[in-house]
Structure 1
Amino acid sequence: MNHWGKHLIIDAASADFQKINDKEYVRSFVVHLLNKIQMVPLAPLWLEYCETNDPKKAGISYVQVLQDSHSAAHFCALSGDFYFDCFSCKDFDVQVVQALLIDYFNPKSLHVTVVIRDSLQRSEATTYTIGARGSSE
């Protein structure tokens, strides 16, 4: 990589309610994710059901601190929407992460933003949408 790091931000709509509301299923996703993108956990996984000021936004959240940075997500229990984040100074394949999110949670769509970050040059961002089961829109 000729930049400091990659930041993947995914906003997903209408995922499988049973899956996003199952802590053990989300835990298995994180384990599989780290294996697929070859990241090493630096601390234990934090995973909890979180109440919020807005009941529509309550749901499971996780944060996994990594040797090379972090992965985190919040799953909204009522809407099925979820918000995923992975930042790393070690390169990883965005397509692999997208495919894994689709396979695990079956969202209606993904809004994807990839930010290439570096303190010595302006960050570059690419944004696109993937429709149901991976068809580009």
Structure 2
Amino acid sequence: MSEYWGYHLVLDCQGCDTEKITSRDQIYKFIKELVKRIDMKAYKEPMIEHFATHNIEVAGFSFVQLIETSSITGHLVDKNGDAYIDIFSCKSFEIEAVKKVIDEFFTPKKIKVTYLTRQA
């Protein structure tokens, strides 16, 4: 039995390549590769939608990928290239693998990592 019930990784990515984070195709490929590299199992296809078009400061793509052990979610800001990505899973995963995939797909200038272990 695992020491914790769940693992929650919160990534605040500053200054990603705006061409990449505004591409639905690039986001789709990122999600597929991330799921593979952290050894998770996707449940169906990811949901990727463009939101907040009424406010240019926050408009961008949001995504949800359900995985058999929970979910991967994110919001990518069109204007400044910031990305906010969360992974929650009851199966552990490698933080460095996640950061590497983000670097490869979105090339952020900086990634702030917050890692939480969850136990009720």
TM-score by structure 1 length?
A: 0.83
Deviation at 1:53, TM superposition (A): 5.3
Q: What SS does the aligned partner of 1:47 have?
A: strand
Deviation at 1:52, TM superposition (A): 5.1
2:69 aligns with: 68
For residues 53-84 of structure 1, the C-alpha deviation after alignment (integer angstroms, 9 at most, x for no partner) is 53210001100111100001110000100100
Distance 2:53 2:89 in 1: 28
Number of aligned residue pairs = 119
Distance 1:69 1:55 in 2: 31
1:6 aligns with: 7
Tell me the amino acid that sits aligned with residue 82 of structure 1. Answer: A
Deviation at 1:42, TM superposition (A): 1.9
Identity among equivalent pairs (%):
31
- Confirm whether residue 93 of structure 1 aligns to residue 99 of structure 2: no
List structure 1 runs of 4+ shifted beyond 4 angstroms. Answer: none
- Confirm whether residue 115 of structure 1 aligns to residue 110 of structure 2: no
1:17 aligns with: 18
CA RMSD of aligned residues (A): 1.1
Structure 2: runs of 5 or more not aligned: none
Q: What SS does the aligned partner of 1:56 have?
A: coil
Deviation at 1:49, TM superposition (A): 1.0
Tell me the amino acid that sits aligned with residue 112 of structure 1. Answer: V
1:58 aligns with: 59
Aligned pairs for 1:25-44 (under 5 A) are: 25-44=26-45
Q: What SS does the aligned partner of 1:57 have?
A: coil
Deviation at 1:2, TM superposition (A): 0.7
Deviation at 1:10, TM superposition (A): 0.4
Structure 1: runs of 5 or more not aligned: 120-137
